[in-house]
Structure 1
Amino acid sequence: MKIKHPFKTTLFSILLACGVVSAQPSLAANQTVRVGIMSGEDEDVWRAVAANAAKHGITVKITTFADYTQPNEALAQHDLDANSFQHKPYLDAQINARHYDIVPVGFTYVQPIGLYSRKWKSVDALPQNAAIGVPNDPSNEGRALLLLQANGVIKLRDNVGLLPTARDIASNPKHVQIKELDAGIVGRAIGDVDAAVVNTDWAIKAGIDIQHERIAQEKVESNPYRNFIAVNAKDAQAPWVKTLVESYQQTNVASSILKVYHGATLPAWEGAPQR
């Protein structure tokens, strides 16, 4: 699907005292840092981050994207200084495919992926030959299949790691049909399938009732899919990176995450509040 207007840019220049509790790193005043995020709820979260960063001399300039494939390319082309939208398996797949020199520098939040249905009230109720929608990008399809395995729907071959595909299904007792769809579409297709594995942000955008239509969810503990802020490797030790991460990992940002995602997304840095 071609996106006519893939991104927009907004300048968050917020000069507020926001109670940043960590030590202040040394940083040249009035530095601008360009950060790429996905459009939607994260825009509210990053307003809180920008307010924290402004106290330390950083103006955060946000570019929002509507397509997961674009923020890493923009970062690699130096149109951004950082991005914040992905987890490690996704970045690893992107690096393998496109040879980016991009590294994670600080955790943000985790969005436990869920299995949702408007036709069935439980995983056990899924019928023979049920159609199940899954995201079609390598990391999220793998994540979806691992969730289906964890709930007894399928069994994957041994040692498939975090990136299995439908070809790795070793046992399929109910003969479910895996429907591979774009991550941004699979949630909107929930009425056309028996169930769909959907990322939290896309589930919210698709109008899915997170609490009442979810029939299975990933475990949060030791989740390998924690999102993070990422930068080009050459910038990893830059002072502004430390400031940006510390500006994110604050209580007011955690509160914003919990509010805008209705508790379905959890702050993921060490010591972050969970409610």
Structure 2
Amino acid sequence: MKKLLLSLILITLALFSVACSGKSGDAKDAEGETKHIKIGVSGTDTRVWDHVAEKAKKEGIEIEVVTFSDYVLPNTALAEGELDANSFQTVAYFDEFIKDQKLDLVPIATTIIAPMAIYSEKYKDVSEIPDGSTIAVPNDESNMGRALLLLQEAGLIKLPEDFNGLGSLEVIKENPKNLKIEPVVAAQTPRVLPDVAASVINNGVAVDAGFSPTEDSMMHENETATPYINIIAVRAEDKDNETLKKVAELYQSEDTKKFIEKEYKGNQIPTFVPLEKIGW
């Protein structure tokens, strides 16, 4: 009877242990290295991570991709231990979010940039844009700021050295061509193309409108647009986790780079730069 009671207690404890293993980081080997990891992404497009997961299997790493429908939960779920990593956000968004929410998260690798670009139905090069003409930009602060930075990179305007990335017409320091910068709802930026000299269009909006930033634009962001590079983030305590570092390495491989280029045809650009370059 005592043996039976002891057996029941041991079985109960075992079942309790399994039930509690739903959180990330619990499936570890004897060395403490995570072999099954959960990575959070936003949206339903998991093509790149499915590709990386296939490669990870050969390394003895099982990747579970968890999808979210917003840009908040992937970070809070990571901070609370429901995920081992996430991959969905730009450096600018990440820095602001962890500051506001006081989360102890860090990036361990860069991934891609979904480039904002300048499009025109009238001109092929930004140098052809005439004095006094109109350029449309998204009207929300974040995307307008990003658009203004791109216009500065194009040599059309100049912003203050301490520009904080939040857009408004007042921040334009120099406008040698006396361009009229016209803020419009982001979704309308492709539709106003017939009426303006050029329009600065978000990647997602441009793709939905049938444009490719690398094939159809006058100019698009590249790896110099460091605030808008996407990252893989983890909890600070896991920044040296060998398994997570290996996953980052697999993402930043030449094979994955070619997969992204072939699959997205310029709508996403592999951007593997050192963390120091993004301020970390």
TM-score by length of 1: 0.71
Choose between structure 1 and 2: higher strand proportion: 1
Gaps of 5+ in 2: 1-30, 275-280
Cα distance in 1, alignment partners of residues 252 and 155 from structure 2: 36
Matches within 5 A, 1:109-258: 109-118=112-121, 120-123=123-126, 124-125=128-129, 128=132, 130=134, 132-134=136-138, 136=140, 138=142, 140-161=143-164, 163-166=165-168, 167-172=170-175, 173-179=178-184, 181=185, 186=186, 189-192=189-192, 194=196, 195-220=198-223, 223-258=226-261
Q: How far is 1:175 from its partner? A: 2.3
Q: How far is 1:116 from its partner? A: 2.2
Identity of aligned residues (%): 32
Cα distance in 1, alignment partners of residues 259 and 203 from structure 2: 16
Q: How far is 1:223 from its partner? A: 4.3
Gaps of 5+ in 1: 1-25
For the Cα contact (< 8 Å) 1:187–1:196, is it kept in 2? no
* C-alpha distance 254-150 of structure 1, shift in aligned 2 (>3 A): closer
* C-alpha distance 244-219 of structure 1, shift in aligned 2 (>3 A): closer
For the Cα contact (< 8 Å) 2:105–2:234, is it kept in 1? yes
Cα distance in 2, alignment partners of residues 119 and 213 from structure 1: 12
For the Cα contact (< 8 Å) 1:36–1:63, is it kept in 2? yes
For the Cα contact (< 8 Å) 1:27–1:239, is it kept in 2? no
Query: Is the radius of gyration larger for structure 1 or structure 2?
Result: 2
* C-alpha distance 127-260 of structure 1, shift in aligned 2 (>3 A): farther
Show the counterpart of 2:65.
62
Cα distance in 1, alignment partners of residues 244 and 268 from structure 2: 24
> RMSD between aligned alpha carbons?
3.2
Q: SS in structure 2 opposite 1:237?
A: coil
For the Cα contact (< 8 Å) 1:120–1:126, is it kept in 2? no
Cα distance in 2, alignment partners of residues 217 and 44 from structure 1: 23
Show the counterpart of 1:262.
265
Work out the number of aligned pairs and report it: 237
Choose between structure 1 and 2: higher helix proportion: 2
Cα distance in 2, alignment partners of residues 189 and 66 from structure 1: 24
Cα distance in 1, alignment partners of residues 105 and 152 from structure 2: 31
Cα distance in 1, alignment partners of residues 82 and 61 from structure 2: 17
